[in-house]
Amino acid sequence: MDIKTLNIDESAKLNAQAWLDGAYDEATKQAIRDMAETNPQELNESFYRHLEFGTGGLRGIMGVGTNRMNKYTVAMATQGLANYVKKVNSGEKELRAAVSHDSRNHSREFAEITAHVLAANGYKVFLFDGMRPTPELSFAVRHFKCHTGVMVTASHNPKEYNGYKAYWSDGCQLTAPHDEAVIDEVLKIKSVADVKMTGGEQNITIIGEEVDKAFLARVEANSLNLELIRKHHDVKIVYTPLHGTGITLIPRMLKQLGFTNVNVVEAQAVPDGNFPTTPSPNPEEKPAMKMAVDLAKEIDADIVFASDPDADRVGVAVKRPDGEWMLLNGNQTMSVLFYYIVKQWQEKQMLTGNEFMVKTIVTSELPADIATRAGIKIYDVLTGFKFIGAKILELEGVEQFIAGGEESYGYMIGDFVRDKDAVAACSMIAEIAAWAREQGKTFFDVLVDIYREYGFYKEGLVSVVRKGKSGAEEIQQMMRDYRSNPPAEIDGEKVVCIKDYQTHESKDLTTGKVTKLDLPKSNVLQFFTDKGNKVTVRPSGTEPKIKFYFSVKADLCCKGSFDTTNAALDAKIESIKKSMKLV
């Protein structure tokens, strides 16, 4: 079949023909011919555009085509990255890069291609001998004083996907101005002919155990109560890596800390890019946690946690007083982590007044309340963990970072990693379980203690989908309307403060005072009420939707009132949705 005669997008025809005529392998060309013959629509989807290298790198469905994750799109992206890093560091005698990957299908292949392209461009490359968690890649970038790094992963996306996260010399994912500048360089790479694919193999160093030991030593140094762990070493832990990289380090780290009763979900312990035991390898979702919770019920465990395929996110389940298991959301886990860390720093008299913690603007205000009451500075950053890393770099040598996190199940403890870190987070969560037992409590009891002391915070989210060009225009009009005619009240509560991250202004509606927001420009609005509730409005950067984040608060008198207060807060969120005409 002649591609030129197919009823598909003209750009798809041109891109597919360029691959048929170019220096691509015969198997790839045959796959293009097969699609043209049997599935023109798939050919259209695979070639109608070039897979976008966004500010976080690449992410897409695996397969043949310019709009797919494959060895050629990975190689071209790496060439663009190599060109930019070389341009910025033109005076350096030796450029260095670290490369790792997760358990997904083709991840090892893509990591090796990345390493070879970098090596062919003269880089000294440190390539892990097998899959490793994302936080260890971030650590390795700084450990080897690299100029850049790449983690091949699609995080918790479905099995059809793979991706590619690019890192800067500080071990953080690319931030301004490097993120946009790298995109510009990647766009200049038009075909595989522009890529240095071979030569320089001697520049690749395989790394493994020695880096594992160095990384785990830093995680162990995070511990705030090793004596307590030894005393309660038999805390019953259930852990699942969801077929991902967490199996390489998390059970080992728990053992190194002294925990002796770690029960791994064996059916999910085998690395497998098909994720056969769960519909989605995302610990934010109940089905992904089911096997771990079932095991916890069977053995009467104390705590359950799961890491996603690249082991940067953590999901947690805790046992309630009635014996049922409850999944914590990201805000709850982050609040317990902050609370425990702050309590320990206070008790050990480690606070000097120069410490800080970081959260994202859509995260609950509870972690901020915990930090502020302890005299610890709290910084808000835009959504995306790279902004937490950027804040650490900004304040390095000036203030001491303690911990950071975001509502989407990502946490960082200590600054030796500059990305979400499930290895450190799981270790600290296990330590908190031991600390709770020392007091005759459970992890759930600790959460209740926090709510009693600081208020019961509850969060909700609504995503309003508006597809197509008209939908995108409607979303932008909604944002314009909220700016030109902001709500004076939300569900009967007076709006007392509006933060506009596009104009960089925070306006106190009670006094009229306007202060500047020291954050990058972003199309986000926040409304704060006189009752301490918050609504954040933010168009998605990757999907045709506008997101509404809700955070509400009430007093909690005692553990016995948890369920009724929780239900009342759920009802409050529903009432806010109705008042804003979102349901």
Say which CATH number the domain at 485 has.
3.30.310
Q: Is residue 77 part of a domain?
A: yes
Please give the Cα distance from 238 to 501 (Å, whole number): 41
Catalytic residue positions? Answer: 155
88 and 141 in a common domain: yes
In total, how many domains does the chain have?
4
Q: How far apart are CA 478 and CA 470, in angstroms?
A: 12
Is the residue at 254 inside a domain? Answer: yes
* Domain-embedded: residue 31: yes
Q: Do residues 176 and 304 both lie within one domain?
A: no
Domain termination site, one of 207, 240, 274: 207
Q: CB-based contacts of 480: which residues, under 8 Å, 6+ apart? A: none
**Distances from the Cα of 335 to the Cαs of 56, 193, 235, in angstroms?**
26, 51, 21
- Per residue in 398-456, pLDDT (tens digit) is 999 999 999 999 999 999 999 999 999 999 999 999 999 999 999 999 999 999 999 99
Q: Exposed/middle/buried for 285, CB within 10 Å: 0-12, 13-18, 19+?
A: middle
Q: Helix 443-454 crosses helix 366-373 at what angle (to 10 degrees)? A: 70
Q: What is the pLDDT along the chain (583 residues), one digit of tens a residue?
A: 578 888 889 999 999 999 999 999 999 999 999 999 999 999 999 999 999 888 778 999 999 999 999 999 999 999 999 999 999 999 899 999 999 999 999 999 999 999 999 999 999 999 999 999 999 999 999 999 999 999 999 999 999 999 999 999 999 999 989 999 999 999 999 889 999 999 999 999 999 999 999 999 999 999 999 999 999 999 999 999 999 999 999 999 999 999 999 999 999 999 999 999 999 999 999 999 999 999 999 999 999 999 999 999 999 999 999 999 999 999 999 999 999 999 999 999 999 999 999 999 999 999 999 999 999 999 999 988 999 999 999 999 999 999 999 999 999 999 999 999 999 999 999 999 999 999 999 999 999 999 999 999 999 999 998 887 788 889 999 999 999 999 999 999 999 999 999 999 999 999 999 999 989 889 999 999 999 999 999 997 666 799 999 999 999 999 999 999 999 999 999 999 999 999 8
Average pLDDT over all residues of the chain = 95
pLDDT tens by residue, 341-389: 999 999 999 999 999 999 999 999 999 999 999 999 999 999 889 999 9
Instruction: Give the start-end residues of each E strand in 447-544.
Output: 456-465, 489-490, 493-500, 505-508, 514-516, 525-529, 534-539
Phi/psi for 175 (5° steps) reads: -125, 175
What's the pLDDT at 469? 74
Residue 55 maps to a domain: no
pLDDT of residue 472: 83
Shared domain check, 275 and 222 = yes
CA 481 to chain centre: 31
DSSP tag of 174: P
Residue 185 sits in the same domain as residue 226: no
Q: What is the CATH number of the domain that holds 221?
A: 3.40.120.10
Provide the pLDDT for residue 2: 76
Domain boundary among 168, 191, 207: 207
Residue 95 lies in a domain: yes
| Residue 149 sits in the same domain as residue 298 | no
Judgement on whether residues 227 and 175 belong to the same structural domain of the protein: no
Angle at 306 between CA 548 and CA 328, to 5 degrees: 45
Q: What is the enclosing helix (H) or strand (E) of 450? A: helix 443-454
Same domain? 449 vs 460: no
If asked whether residues 417 and 375 sit together in one domain, one would say: yes
Closest CA to 528 of 485, 551, 495: 495
Within a domain: 59: no
Q: Does 427 share its domain with 525? A: no
Query: Do 229 and 375 reside in the same domain of the chain?
Result: yes
Give the model confidence (pLDDT) of 11-45 as tens digits.
Answer: 999 999 999 999 999 999 999 999 999 999 999 99
In a domain, 61, yes or no: no
454 in Cβ contact with 252 (< 8 Å): no
Parent domain of 488: 456-579
For residues 179 and 311, membership in a common domain is answered with: no
Strands 325-327 and 303-307, how do they pair? unpaired
Whether residue 390 lies inside any domain: the answer is yes
Say yes or no: 235 and 267 in one domain: yes
- Of 405, 429, 454, the last residue of a domain is 454
How far is residue 104's CA from residue 243's CA, in Å, rounded to a whole number?
9
CA distance 319 to 297: 9
Task: Identify the pLDDT of residue 284.
Answer: 94
